[in-house]
Amino acid sequence: MEIRGLGGADFERALEHFRAGRPVTYRDLELVLLGAGLDCRVRAADSPDALTSRRALEALTRARFRLGALLASAAPLAAIVGNREPRFVLVRAGSSPDAPEELYELRGDRLRHLGDPPATPDG
């Protein structure tokens, strides 16, 4: 389900969907509420061969700012998220639509590579 506006009946339906633990998307950012955590998934735009640690960090940092702006503008969503620590994850389509392949994660200021070795060290 996609968040297209920050008010109205569609927004309320998206909040219920999110509250139930199902993913919602906002501007290419997929949000999933997980017990004490929050996964923020971003699809990798680069081909796997062109993806570098630097590009991954840039994509996940943009996602962090996008989430901050969303939560600042949508108090009901911010209330649901509460003090959950967001985990920003760069993903690409996996063998199943419900299980994307995780490539990198950003927690706080720490970038961690999760998949195969990057194409270049820090290109």
- 1 within domain boundaries: no
CATH code of the domain covering residue 88? 3.30.70
Domain membership of residue 3 (yes or no) is: no
Confirm whether 70 is domain-assigned. Answer: yes
Q: How many domains does the chain have?
A: 1
Structure-block tokens of residue 90: 């760069």
Tell me whether residue 14 is in a domain.
yes
Which burial class, exposed, middle or buried, applies to 121 when counting CB atoms under 10 A from its CB (0-12, 13-18, 19+)?
Answer: exposed
Is 121 domain-assigned? no
Residue 91 in contact with residue 43, Cβ under 8 Å?
yes
pLDDT in tens, the chain (123 residues): 999 999 999 999 999 999 999 999 999 899 999 988 999 999 988 676 778 899 999 999 999 999 999 999 999 999 999 999 999 999 987 666 667 889 999 998 899 999 665 555 554
Assess if residue 19 is contained within a domain: yes
For 45, the domain range is 8-113
Please report whether residue 61 resides in a domain: yes
